[in-house]
Amino acid sequence: MLQLPKAAIDQFKTLFQGTVLLPADAEYDEARQIWNAMIDRRPAIIARCSSPESVVQAVDFARQNGLLVSVRGGGHNIAGNAVCDDGLMIDLSPMKRVEIDAQTRRASVEPGCTLADFDAVALAHGLATPLGINSTTGVAGLTLGGGFGWLSRKYGMTVDNLLGADVVMADGRQLHASETENADLFWGLRGGGGNFGIVTRFEFQLHPVGPEVLSGLIVFPFDEARSVITAFARFTEQMPDDLNIWMVIRKAPPLPFLPEETHGKEMVALALCYAGSPAEGEKLIQPLRGFGKVLGEHIGVQPYTAWQQAFDPLLTPGARNYWKSHNFSRIGDEAREVIMEYAAKLPSPQCEIFIGTIGGQTTRVAPEAMAYSSRDANYVMNVHGRWDSAAEDERCIAWAREFFARSKPFASGGAYINFLTQDESDRIAFAYGTVYKRLVEIKKKYDPTNFFRMNQNIKPD
């Protein structure tokens, strides 16, 4: 365990414009917990920041004392990089301010905000930007890794809607990054993760949404999987940008619209959201019901904010999680057969295979326009291992890794950086593809000592 001089800690606690937690403090254990229960690390100090100035103070203290730094926004990242052992955890979660300019359709968002925080304020004006699908996810980490969700086919990746950012650098400077100011840093922030600095404010472009949207689930029994996956792959290649459909294969939770005897049995669900007129959406989704024998459905018009929270009960913190992920330009017959094979042997009731459909506007940006470069990805498949007991680790992780290996021949290039686990550092250069060398150069310029290395790390050397 790292031993800092008591005088240094006392001085930091006195001067810091936030809250300092040490291992002996009552709030320490709760503050160090993150979404993925497989990660159990103990920082020497936790600095809970309240302002950009307090972030500067924390960075300066870590640099002056040679401390490893981790940065927590929402604490939701699968790799657990929000928390470190023995170093300084810079906790941004108290910084939750969201400001909306409805006339210019711009949002100013602090890095402690979750998707729920951002969505609630923006949708009060009938506006939103593309974010993820779990409302407890942090806006900061999601954005810096690329970001995609229900609105991405219509409005692009989250980073496609980032207009600017205020950033604290490793040397304590505060910079603004945009297309016209520190443009190389702005290029790197849009997909490069937390490699270059700590963003203390994001500025987003907003778009008119809802506030109510047609959304919900259509569920099929697993014996209809071949028909459903085949039809899903064909339909999603042709559907309009306003419509997004994801596919989830898992054991059925006790959903009230499903027959009780199907609870706990494998199912195939289509999750959909239509960003246009609900009446038009109803016409467009009618063919989905013909993909196979429908086990049950729950489709209706509801607030977009409610749909953003629909999957929260299946993604609560405290479970053990291990992910493997591929990008696909298309879901062909061979990929479908591998998906069906491994869906038939899910190792726990919470494990699932989900295929998030992107495409549309996400593919109309040049691959080298920013750090997120996987513009040929029309689908992102997440092999989501999730279970409760450490005794299940070996079985569930083996299933995810084996499925990942078997499906690799059918994947396209690149990978979604936010879905990489802590043991996938060998995939980082592959994830970025042709833009990786430029990211290394930006890292050399802005963080030559690799001060920010608790991330999917781009090494400056």
Residue-range domains of the chain with CATH? 6-91 (3.30.43.10), 98-209+435-446 (3.30.465.10), 212-419 (3.40.462.20)
Sheet of strand 174-178: strand arrangement? 98-101, 106-109, 198-205, 162-168, 174-178
pLDDT at 429: 95
Paired sense of beta strands 207-208 and 88-91, if any:
unpaired
Q: Are 370 and 187 in contact, with CB atoms under 8 Å apart?
A: yes
pLDDT at 3: 73
CA distance 176 to 20: 27
pLDDT at 360: 97
pLDDT in tens, 177-209: 999 999 999 999 999 999 999 999 999 999 999
DSSP class of 332: -
CA distance 450 to 284: 50
Length of the chain: 461
Could you give phi then psi for residue 252, rounded to 5 degrees? Answer: -65, 125
Report, as an integer, the average pLDDT of 413-429.
94
Buried b / exposed e across 175-199, counting CB within 10 Å, b at 16+?
A: bebbeeebeebbbbbbbbbbbbbbb
Q: Are 452 and 197 in contact, with CB atoms under 8 Å apart?
A: yes
Report, as an integer, the average pLDDT of 398-403.
97
pLDDT at 4: 83
Collapse the DSSP code of 274 into the 3-class scheme (helix H, G, I; strand E, B; otherwise coil) and give the result: strand
pLDDT in tens, 314-357: 999 999 999 999 999 999 999 999 999 999 999 999 999 999 99
pLDDT in tens, 111-158: 999 999 999 999 999 999 999 999 999 999 999 999 999 999 999 999
List the Cα angle 274/275/279 in 5-degree steps. 60
pLDDT in tens, 255-265: 999 999 999 99
Percent of the chain with pLDDT over 70: 100
Model confidence pTM above 0.75: yes
Collapse the DSSP code of 380 into the 3-class scheme (helix H, G, I; strand E, B; otherwise coil) and give the result: strand
CA distance 42 to 23: 8
pLDDT at 461: 83
Instruction: List the one residue out of 319, 311, 308, 314 whose CA is nearest residue 33.
Output: 319
Percent of the chain with pLDDT over 90: 97
pLDDT at 2: 64
pLDDT at 179: 97
Assign 1 a pLDDT band (cuts: 50, 70, 90). Answer: low
pLDDT at 145: 97
pLDDT in tens, 209-257: 999 999 999 999 999 999 999 999 999 999 999 999 999 999 999 999 9
Taking 70 as the threshold, does the pLDDT of residue 306 lie above it? yes
Neighbours of 287 (CB within 10 A): 11
Report, as an integer, the average pLDDT of 355-363.
97
Report, as an integer, the average pLDDT of 67-86.
96
